[in-house]
Amino acid sequence: MNNLLVIVGPTAVGKSAIAIELAQRLGGEIVSADSRYLYRGMDIGTAKPTPADRARVPHHLIDVTDPDQPWSLAQFRDAADVLIGEINRRGRLPILVGGTGQYIHALLEGWSIPRRAADPQLRAGLAAIVERDGGDELYRRLQQADPAAAASIDRRNVRRVVRALEVTLITGQPFSAQRQKKPPRYHAFTVGLMLSRPKLYNRIDARVESMLASGLVAEVQALAAKGYDWSLPALSAIGYKQIGMYLRGECDLLEAGRMIKRETRRFVRRQANWFKPGDPRIQWFDIEQLDVDRLAEDVRRFCSESS
């Protein structure tokens, strides 16, 4: 059983800064659980830790693939699991940090993620259904094929709907039946960071303005210049999608900024479905009242008692 510190919470609450402070106090290394940090060339729009931050504390699972080579949930889980073990064996503390709830739950709950063979023809057929009839039609088909999976997936998350249908159709078994859970392999101390919604929304607005001032438009232009297609999942991420619309003349920059802020707020509300204040596994702290030194002592005590 490996010790593991987990830091969760909504976008823009300040997880990365607190993780670095704790890592410096505890001899820790950060393992990113942010699906967008995986991609090279996507720095500003993801609020990726800066080179200076990464020089202060070792970071892992950042800049490991290109935007046109997406990682699956299974790839992330396997890589993170190996890293957590290696960091423990070095006598250091792995700190899993991020807002991608599916990634964190897959690790902590021991998800057995169904593998699927590649079927480009099937993928193209499902994409054609979305293009012709919309995502709701694909979701309706998933409801018929696997009601349990459909109930657990947001109908607006077309990529997850497509994946669930792919696995079901390729394997002939419901996607939900293939996702089993194993006993957790970690002694996990999970910290949840929170902030009142008005203050969090103000942080989001300020972050978006900072991204735009720091060169987000140029960053997206550079990705397009490398030939990455706008339809790639990575370029459909919040920020990249809206700036892409601006670059294609579909809106002005002011409206693109408004859309990024609005979609980020919606994303925060969806994140709350993964990280709930009533979850007994999570110790919640208001970030404005957090005593980092005291928290570090609590984590040391937890690790000592579990070893």
CA 248 vs. chain centroid, Å, equals 27
- Report yes or no: 108 and 184 within 8 Å, Cβ to Cβ: yes
The domain that contains 71 carries what CATH number?
A: 3.40.50.300
Q: What whole-number distance in Å separates Cα of residue 153 and Cα of residue 228?
A: 28
Backbone dihedral region for residue 261 (phi beyond 0: left; psi -120 to 50: alpha; all else: beta): alpha
How high is the pLDDT of residue 179? 63
Residue 294's CB is within 10 A of a number of other CB atoms, namely: 9
- Report yes or no: 285 and 295 within 8 Å, Cβ to Cβ: yes
Whether residues 81 and 136 share a domain: the answer is no
Q: What is the pTM of this model?
A: 0.83
Q: What whole-number distance in Å separates Cα of residue 73 and Cα of residue 93?
A: 23
In this prediction, residue 307 has a pLDDT band, given cuts at 50, 70 and 90, of low
In this prediction, residue 285 has a pLDDT band, given cuts at 50, 70 and 90, of very high
How high is the pLDDT of residue 123? 78
User: Sign of the CA dihedral 258, 71, 101, 150?
Assistant: positive
Place of tokens 């089993």: 180
- The per-residue pLDDT for range 7-22, each reduced to its tens digit, is 999 999 999 999 999 9
Whether residues 232 and 209 share a domain: the answer is yes
Whether residues 92 and 42 share a domain: the answer is yes
How high is the pLDDT of residue 176? 73
> In total, how many domains does the chain have?
2
- The per-residue pLDDT for range 211-263, each reduced to its tens digit, is 999 999 999 999 999 999 998 989 999 999 999 999 999 999 999 999 999 99
Whether residues 51 and 88 share a domain: the answer is yes
Phi and psi of 104, rounded to 5°? Answer: -70, -45
Look up the domain containing 263 and give its range: 2-112+182-306
* DSSP assigned state of 93: E
Q: What whole-number distance in Å separates Cα of residue 59 and Cα of residue 53?
A: 9
The domain that contains 173 carries what CATH number?
A: 1.10.20.140
